[in-house]
Structures are given as C-alpha cells and as structure tokens.
Amino acid sequence: MKTRDKIVLTQIIIAVIGLAATAYGTRVNFPDAVHIKYGLPFEWGVHTIVTIAGPANDWRVNINSLLLDFALWFILIIGAGLFMGRDQKVL
C-alpha cells in the first residue's frame, strides 16, 4: 500500500471515530429526571427524556462545545496526515 493510501485510510478512520464520538450518548438517571448527554470529549448536548412531572422532550445544546468537539477531531485528522507524510513527498 502506498504512503498516500495509508494517510487517506488513517484520516477516514479518524473521521469515522470522531463522528461516532460526537454522536455518542450517555444515559444519566437522576431521582427526578432522565437525561441523555451527547458528545465526547466535550459534552455538547443534553436531552431530557423524563422529569418528575412526567415525560419531557427538552434539548439543551452548547454550540461552543460542539464546535470545539469538531475542531478537535479535524485537528486530529489533519495532524495524522501531516505526521504520516512528514518523510514522504505526497503530491
């Protein structure tokens, strides 16, 4: 496999992992509410499913955390390409 192909494959793998990590949800049960928190490593969204008063459908989204999450994964994708291609001339 050529170096360029390895770089592209690595970047695709990191992109898929980043997308999965961004969409990853963790269920959190409190005595009076049930939440699903989204985002890894930065929590960007909270979906409230149930409260003490009954069913709920409330979303709280932190755009700054979402943008930081995407920025981190994009930096990893670009960094992997630069790191793997540092000794090769890839055109």
Average pLDDT of 46-68? Answer: 94
Q: Does residue 89 form part of some domain?
A: no
Q: Examine residue 42 and state whether it is found in any structural domain, yes or no.
A: yes
In 3D space, the residue among 78, 73, 81 whose CA is nearest the CA of residue 41 turns out to be 73
Q: Give the residue numbers spanning the domain of 18.
A: 3-84
pLDDT over 90 (residue 62): yes
Residue 91 lies inside a defined structural domain of this protein: no
Percentage of the chain with pLDDT > 70? Answer: 95
Average pLDDT, integer, range 35-51: 94
Examine residue 62 and state whether it is found in any structural domain, yes or no: yes
pLDDT at position 4, please? 82
**Residue 74 counted as domain residue:** yes
- 35 bridge partner residues: 28, 48
Number of folded domains in the chain? 1
Whether the per-residue pLDDT at 86 is higher than 80: the answer is: no
- pLDDT of 14 reads 93
Q: 3-class secondary structure for 57-86? A: EEEEECHHHHHHHHHHHHHHHHHHHHHHCC
45-68 average pLDDT score = 95
Position 28 in a domain: yes
